[in-house]
């Protein structure tokens, strides 16, 4: 038996609209009404047909699908005789689906509204747990400046370009990484570095596809306000508690460093690494190793290994050197203090001639014999116009002050003027004290001196020493100078001061200060250095290095002090760096020691490599270059113009291990992005002090 | 469902397009731009375009591209958005509740879409191969008609043969089965266990009947086979209609959450413009 359930002819199958929202409740029984439910799902059929009037008769309109015209026909009032009870319309599939969609949207919007308005939101909207280092931060607003305004403000922040800059400020409020500038360099410095880097790169290795695409679409490195790079560009949070957000990859470095290296071993530029600048202490390794240590007289003092002088620092990164006492004093210690510094000297003047002509020069030691004045005296006398005029005249004329027999009146007046100025200088030192010296030093150097600087510059000279100078050299100084300054004449005495001789057989004053200090030797007030690190010479070296150009007298000081032949010979080892920006000079009293809070651009951990180097030891990497003009690098104050007395480090040396088959190297193995000095955040813990007790 | 070369080429085009988006996102990443913004907007745009299919179907009078082309576009754009979605989430599941919810909803939409493609292709062929063409909305009517026919046949057999064998057989094995749709899962997977079971029951009772009863039994067997085909059609057609009850509502829920996600990421990690 075969038959069909579905019929499609119009007489036996009524029409179904696929987009109708409701279907008749009698559909399943096989006799749905023709009209069907309305749009609200209400049954609107009351009878099987709606009779129509033809002439004066009502005619049945029941279709064939519902059985055709009924036998009874319409009622006299024109209504259908077959009433239909109300059905319960059923929603169509489309209607049910629409309802489901609306419920789904309502549910999601409801969840969002609940989340946005309550504490549940922080959890729901949180894109994931932050790393353990930030896990203590519970308020989203601590990092996200947009958070505090709530959901309405978030929509506004979608278009606020300053949000990122504020968020960077939030980061650096804890992480002292400056202002988010690349490598903490200014834009100008970056441009210079970029230019130099491009000059260094000669090869053009193949670039990865993303970089080619970035270049093709002219995609520049993204910067926020003021050329900042947002912290989150590299450090992407909400990756989970155990995520290491400080771990970077080479691609992130190559965002800016677009000249891609094929590999470290193949094409990494080394430039002048690891000798980018002049060593702070001038130590000629070639001279010492090849020459001085070979001298039979010094063999016993020569170091046995590099580590006799160099030891790794606490972090094993830098090889630091010991101090002068450990490394240098065995050879150089005795020479530091062998040359005393003359502070005040008396020039020799032909007093016999001045006596003969009855000059008005007052007393002056007959046996004083200095030919030049000390730089210190030049400074103290720099504002004495009569002295300056007379001394210039003497210098210009090439006068010999010890032979005034044939001198002209002008020359005699100049000699007397010098004598009165020097006596006046000593008089002023004794009567005005340190203020007189301070005033003259400040005038000559063009800057104010601190009390500590002044103390060191005068070498803490006792008043008694100056007083001794006066009593020995000019017994009648007070009376003479005051008379002279009153404009009265002071004749040259017939009896000149005799040279001081100590009563009895006492020790020589120079021997007395063998370990350093002040002493008078004849007509010279001298200072003997206390040894390495003497603060008197150190103070004068600092003053001279920074004020050499401020006055002629200071220039003379600089010539005398900044010299390898100067007392102490400080600058023979301690280099001077002239600050390009500040103009101040920095004297490198100590060798470089890494600040524990400093993050350099390039780091090398020496201690990690000790076990890898063979018999050649340090010279595996550091090869002496006997031809290099190392000393020539110290002829000026420019630390960047430098020739190391070690040959440049060969990349191949590193690449023998750091290659694709042994140690795979990434940029951040050696380089840091955040360059600078970043002290750890300190905590300000308030002390619990009883204020009432303080007031009492 | 079989693959033809046109499908393969279209799919390859989609893969190439998604790969291009991946390379572009890497290019943005390498320049420190937030590539997720770009892939996110592409993804949202793709999802909105996909949703337009539903709009297009609701306005059939529009002189736009025929729905069948829209459907092809919808299908391959769907695959493309799956690729962009994977790029957007960096091939790993998100950590946040909102993002995870969005990802799960996307996966549901995508999987239901794939399921929809599969059944649209395979169920239509199966329906054509087996039974007659039936309007889904009328299946309850046909089921009702078959049940009444079976009831009448049993009553008639008692009257004609004077035996209650067929009526008892119907009462014991078939009456409940005729009342509603049956064996929904079995029909989806075309297992045919029920029909074998019923056929065996018919064969078992057949040996105890006389010729008149056997004639009545064969008529009943024909009704059973019709009902079985009707249930088959019902299962497949219902599945064809009701998979959209997952695909479309979840799509709209996904869009709402995606908009919230866009607001949040731009408010907290970088302005739109």
Q: What is the pLDDT of residues B88-113, one digit of tens each?
A: 999 999 989 999 999 999 999 999 99
pLDDT of residue A147: 85
Mean pLDDT estimate for chain A:
85
pLDDT of residue B227: 95
Q: In this predicted structure, which of A92-106, A119-133, A212-226 has the lowest mean pLDDT?
A: A212-226
**pLDDT of A203 higher than 60:** no
**pLDDT of A600 higher than 80:** yes
Q: How many CA atoms lie within 13 A of A21 on its CB side?
A: 10
Give, in order, the Cα–Cα distances in Å from B243 to each of A430, B105, B187, B216: 109, 15, 16, 41
B247 and B125 within one domain: yes
Q: Any idea how long chain A is?
A: 696
Question: In DSSP terms, which residues pair with B42 in a beta bridge?
Answer: none
As a whole number, mean pLDDT of residues A223-249 equals 81
Contact A120, A87 (CB under 8 A): no
**Mutate: best of B37, B39, B98, B102, partner A, most A CBs <10 A:** B98
Rg of chain A over Cα atoms, rounded to whole angstroms, equals: 49
pLDDT of residue A198: 67
pLDDT of residue A160: 77
- Mapping DSSP to helix (H, G, I), strand (E, B) and coil, where does residue B209 land? coil
Tally the domains of chain B. 2
Residue from the list B145, B244, B272 with its beta carbon closest to the beta carbon of A30:
B145
**pLDDT of B1 higher than 70:** no
CB distance A3–B226 less than 8 Å? yes
**pLDDT of B64 higher than 90:** no
The closest alpha carbon to A290, from A660, A641, A634, A626, belongs to A626
**pLDDT of A575 higher than 60:** yes
Backbone angles phi, psi at A627, to 5 degrees: -90, -10
pLDDT of residue B47: 96
Q: In this predicted structure, which of A70-79, A144-153, B173-182 has the lowest mean pLDDT?
A: A144-153
Check residues A411 and A65 and name the one with the higher pLDDT. A411
pTM listed for this prediction = 0.72
B194 and B101 within one domain: no
CB distance B252–A123 less than 8 Å? no
**pLDDT of B132 higher than 60:** yes
Encode B16-67 in three state secondary structure: HHHHHHHHHHHHHHHCCCCHHHHHHHHHHHHHHHHHHHHHHHHCCCCCCCCH
What residue has token string 């005729």?
B178
Per-residue confidence band for B181, with pLDDT thresholds at 50, 70 and 90: very high
What is the chain A residue with the closest CA to B102? A108
Residue from the list A105, A124, A125 with its beta carbon closest to the beta carbon of B252:
A105
B250 and B118 within one domain: yes
**pLDDT of A179 higher than 70:** no
B258 and B224 within one domain: no
User: Chain B: nearest CA to A14, how far in angstroms?
Assistant: 11
CA pair distance B24, A217, nearest whole angstrom: 9
Q: What is the dihedral of CA B26, B29, B34, B39, to 10 degrees?
A: 0
User: Helix B244-269 crosses helix B35-58 at what angle (to 10 degrees)?
Assistant: 150
**pLDDT of A219 higher than 90:** no
Per-residue confidence band for A580, with pLDDT thresholds at 50, 70 and 90: low
Choose from A588-597, A678-687, B34-43 the range with maximum mean pLDDT: B34-43
pLDDT of residue A692: 75
User: Chain A: nearest CA to B193, how far in angstroms?
Assistant: 23
User: Chain B: nearest CA to A105, how far in angstroms?
Assistant: 5
Choose from A197-211, A352-366, B39-53, B65-79 the range with maximum mean pLDDT: B39-53
- Mapping DSSP to helix (H, G, I), strand (E, B) and coil, where does residue A47 land? strand
**pLDDT of A118 higher than 80:** no
* Residues in chain A within 8 Å Cβ distance of B256: 105, 108-109, 112
Stretch (H or E) spanning A510: helix A509-512
What are the DSSP calls for A572-588, one per residue? GTB-EEEPTTT--EEE-
Cα Dmax for chain B: 92
The closest alpha carbon to B123, from B18, B238, B258, belongs to B238
Q: Which residues contact A512 (CB under 8 A, 6 or more apart)?
A: A519
pLDDT-above-90 percentage for chain B: 74
pLDDT of residue A167: 84
As a whole number, mean pLDDT of residues A296-303 equals 87
* Residues in chain A within 8 Å Cβ distance of B264: 125, 127, 154
**pLDDT of A206 higher than 70:** no
As a whole number, mean pLDDT of residues A293-312 equals 88
pLDDT of residue A225: 64
Q: In this predicted structure, which of A346-360, A389-403, A581-595 has the lowest mean pLDDT?
A: A581-595
Per-residue confidence band for A259, with pLDDT thresholds at 50, 70 and 90: low
CA pair distance A546, A445, nearest whole angstrom: 8
As a whole number, mean pLDDT of residues A141-170 equals 83
CA pair distance A229, A211, nearest whole angstrom: 19
Residue B16 near chain A (CB below 8 Å): no
Per-residue confidence band for A394, with pLDDT thresholds at 50, 70 and 90: very high
Check residues A596 and B176 and name the one with the higher pLDDT. B176
Tokens read off for B237: 């057609």
CA pair distance A150, A138, nearest whole angstrom: 16
Residue from the list B30, B226, B253 with its beta carbon closest to the beta carbon of A104:
B253
CA pair distance A309, A320, nearest whole angstrom: 8
pLDDT of residue B120: 92
Domain positions in chain A? 1-91, 338-567
**pLDDT of B24 higher than 90:** yes
User: Chain B: nearest CA to A72, how far in angstroms?
Assistant: 27
**pLDDT of A644 higher than 60:** yes
Residues 146-205 of B with CB under 8 A from A: 146
Check residues A162 and B142 and name the one with the higher pLDDT. B142
CB distance B253–A213 less than 8 Å? no
CA pair distance A579, A11, nearest whole angstrom: 106
Per-residue confidence band for A299, with pLDDT thresholds at 50, 70 and 90: confident
B53 and B169 within one domain: no
Residue B117 near chain A (CB below 8 Å): no
Give, in order, the Cα–Cα distances in Å from A662 to each of A263, A265, A358, A487, A658: 13, 11, 95, 91, 6
pLDDT of residue A262: 67
| Structural domain that includes position B26 | 5-129+243-269
As a whole number, mean pLDDT of residues A296-318 equals 88
Q: How many CA atoms lie within 13 A of A281 on its CB side?
A: 14
- Mapping DSSP to helix (H, G, I), strand (E, B) and coil, where does residue A526 land? strand
CB distance B95–A128 less than 8 Å? yes
Residue B266 near chain A (CB below 8 Å): yes
Q: Which residues contact B47 (CB under 8 A, 6 or more apart)?
A: B81, B251, B254, B255, B258
pLDDT in tens, A497-535: 777 777 777 877 777 777 888 999 889 999 999 889 899
Per-residue confidence band for A582, with pLDDT thresholds at 50, 70 and 90: low
Check residues A215 and A451 and name the one with the higher pLDDT. A451
pLDDT of residue A583: 66
Tokens read off for A136: 């203590």
pLDDT in tens, B186-238: 999 999 899 999 999 999 999 999 999 999 999 999 999 999 999 999 999 99
pLDDT of residue B80: 97
**Mutate: best of A128, A158, A159, A215, partner B, most B CBs <10 A:** A158
**pLDDT of A559 higher than 90:** no
pLDDT of residue A50: 87
Q: Which residues contact A467 (CB under 8 A, 6 or more apart)?
A: A430
pLDDT of residue A642: 85
pLDDT-above-70 percentage for chain A: 94
User: Chain A: nearest CA to B6, how far in angstroms?
Assistant: 29
Q: In this predicted structure, which of A96-110, A431-445, B37-51, B80-94 has the lowest mean pLDDT?
A: A431-445
Per-residue confidence band for A361, with pLDDT thresholds at 50, 70 and 90: confident
User: Chain B: nearest CA to A239, how far in angstroms?
Assistant: 7
ipTM of the complex: 0.91
Tokens read off for A666: 């990434």
As a whole number, mean pLDDT of residues B22-29 equals 92
**pLDDT of B118 higher than 90:** yes
pLDDT of residue A258: 65
CB pairs < 8 Å spanning A and B: 174
- Mapping DSSP to helix (H, G, I), strand (E, B) and coil, where does residue A311 land? strand
B208 and B157 within one domain: yes
Per-residue confidence band for A276, with pLDDT thresholds at 50, 70 and 90: confident
pLDDT-above-90 percentage for chain A: 23
The closest alpha carbon to B254, from B70, B101, B117, belongs to B101
């Amino acid at each position: 038996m075969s038959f069909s359930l579905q019929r499609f002819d119009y007489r036996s199958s009524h029409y179904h609209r696929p987009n109708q929202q409701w279907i008749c409740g009698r559909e399943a029984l096989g006799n749905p009404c023709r009209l069907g439910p309305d749009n609200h799902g209400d049954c609107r059929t009351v009878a099987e047909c709606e009779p129509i009037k033809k002439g004066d008769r009502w005619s049945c309109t029941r279709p064939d699908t519902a059985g055709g015209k009924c036998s009874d026909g319409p009622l006299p009032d024109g209504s259908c005789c077959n009433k239909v009870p109300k059905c319960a319309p059923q929603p169509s599939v489309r209607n049910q689906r629409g309802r489901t969609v609306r419920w789904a949207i309502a549910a999601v919007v409801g969840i969002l509204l609940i989340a946005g308005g309550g504490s549940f939101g922080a959890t729901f909207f949180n894109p994931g747990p932050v790393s353990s280092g930030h896990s203590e931060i519970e308020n989203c607003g601590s990092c996200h400046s947009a958070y505090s305004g709530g959901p309405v403000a978030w929509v506004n922040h979608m278009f606020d370009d300053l949000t990122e800059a504020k968020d960077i400020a939030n980061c650096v409020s804890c992480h002292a990484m400056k202002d988010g500038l690349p490598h903490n360099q200014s834009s100008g410095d970056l441009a210079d570095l970029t230019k130099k880097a491009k000059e260094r790169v000669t090869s053009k290795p193949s670039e990865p596809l993303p970089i080619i695409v970035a270049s093709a679409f002219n995609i520049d490195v993204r910067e926020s306000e003021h050329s900042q790079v947002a912290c989150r560009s590299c450090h992407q949070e909400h990756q989970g508690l155990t995520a290491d957000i400080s771990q970077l990859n080479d691609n992130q470095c190559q965002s800016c460093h677009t000249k891609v290296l094929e590999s470290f071993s193949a094409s990494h530029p080394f430039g002048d690494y690891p000798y980018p600048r002049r060593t702070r202490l001038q130590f000629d390794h070639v001279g010492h190793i090849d020459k001085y240590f070979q001298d039979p007289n010094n063999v016993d003092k020569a170091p046995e290994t590099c580590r006799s002088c160099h030891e790794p620092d606490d972090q094993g990164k830098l090889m630091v050197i010991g101090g002068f006492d450990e490394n240098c004093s065995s050879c150089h210690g005795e020479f530091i203090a062998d040359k005393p510094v003359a502070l005040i000297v008396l020039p020799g003047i032909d007093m016999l001639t001045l006596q003969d002509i009855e000059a008005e020069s007052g007393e002056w030691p007959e046996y004083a014999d200095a030919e030049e004045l000390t730089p210190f005296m030049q400074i103290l006398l720099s504002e004495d116009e009569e002295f300056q005029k007379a001394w210039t005249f003497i210098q210009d004329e090439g006068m010999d002050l010890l032979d005034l027999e044939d001198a002209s009146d002008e020359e005699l007046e100049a000699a007397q003027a010098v004598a009165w100025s020097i006596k006046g200088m000593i008089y002023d030192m004794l009567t005005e004290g340190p203020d007189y010296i301070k005033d003259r030093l400040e005038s000559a150097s063009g800057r104010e001196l601190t009390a500590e600087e002044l103390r060191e510059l005068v070498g803490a000279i006792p008043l008694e020493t100056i007083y001794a100078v006066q009593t020995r050299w000019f017994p009648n100084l007070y009376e003479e100078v005051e008379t002279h300054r009153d404009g009265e004449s002071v004749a040259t005495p017939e009896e000149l001061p005799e040279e001081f001789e100590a009563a009895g057989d006492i020790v020589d004053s120079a021997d007395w200060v063998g370990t350093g200090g002040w002493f008078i030797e004849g007509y010279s007030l001298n200072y003997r250095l206390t040894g390495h690190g003497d603060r008197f010479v150190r103070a004068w070296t600092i003053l001279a290095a920074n004020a050499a150009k401020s006055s002629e007298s200071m220039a003379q000081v600089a010539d005398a002090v900044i010299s390898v032949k100067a007392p102490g010979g400080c600058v023979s080892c301690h280099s001077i760096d002239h600050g390009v920006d500040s103009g101040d000079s920095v004297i490198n009293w100590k060798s470089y020691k890494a600040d524990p809070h400093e993050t350099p651009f390039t780091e090398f951990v020496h201690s990690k490599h000790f076990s890898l180097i063979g018999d050649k030891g340090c010279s595996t990497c550091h090869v002496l270059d006997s031809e290099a003009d190392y000393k020539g690098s110290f002829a000026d104050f420019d630390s960047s113009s430098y020739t190391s007395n070690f040959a440049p480090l060969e990349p191949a040396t590193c690449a023998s291990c750091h290659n694709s088959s042994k140690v795979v190297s990434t940029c951040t193995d050696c380089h840091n992005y955040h360059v600078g000095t970043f002290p750890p955040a300190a905590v300000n813990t308030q002390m619990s002090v009883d204020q009432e007790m303080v007031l009492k | 469902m079989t693959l033809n070369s046109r499908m393969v080429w279209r799919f390859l085009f989609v893969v190439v397009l998604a790969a291009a988006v991946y390379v572009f996102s890497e290019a943005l990443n390498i320049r420190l731009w937030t590539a997720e913004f770009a892939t996110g907007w592409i993804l949202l745009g793709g999802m909105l375009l996909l949703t337009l299919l539903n709009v297009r179907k609701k306005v059939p009078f529009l002189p736009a591209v025929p729905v069948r082309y829209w459907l092809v576009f919808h299908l391959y754009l769907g695959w493309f958005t799956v690729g962009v979605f994977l790029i957007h989430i960096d091939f790993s599941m998100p950590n946040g509740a909102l993002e995870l919810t969005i990802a799960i909803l996307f996966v549901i939409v995508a999987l239901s879409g794939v399921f929809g493609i599969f059944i649209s292709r395979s169920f239509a062929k199966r329906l054509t191969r087996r039974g007659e063409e039936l309007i889904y909305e009328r299946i309850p009517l046909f089921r009702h008609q078959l049940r009444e026919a079976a009831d009448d046949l049993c009553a008639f057999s008692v009257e004609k043969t004077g035996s209650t064998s067929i009526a008892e057989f119907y009462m014991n094995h078939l009456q409940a089965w005729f009342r509603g749709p049956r064996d929904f899962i079995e029909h989806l997977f075309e297992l045919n266990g029920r029909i074998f079971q019923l056929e065996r029951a018919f064969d078992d009772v057949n040996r105890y009947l006389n010729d008149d009863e056997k004639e009545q039994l064969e008529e009943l067997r024909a009704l059973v086979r019709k009902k079985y085909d009707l249930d088959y059609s019902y299962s497949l057609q219902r599945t064809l209609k009701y998979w959209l009850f997952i695909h479309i509502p979840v799509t709209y829920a996904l869009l709402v959450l995606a908009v919230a996600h866009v607001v949040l990421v731009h408010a907290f990690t970088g302005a739109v413009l």
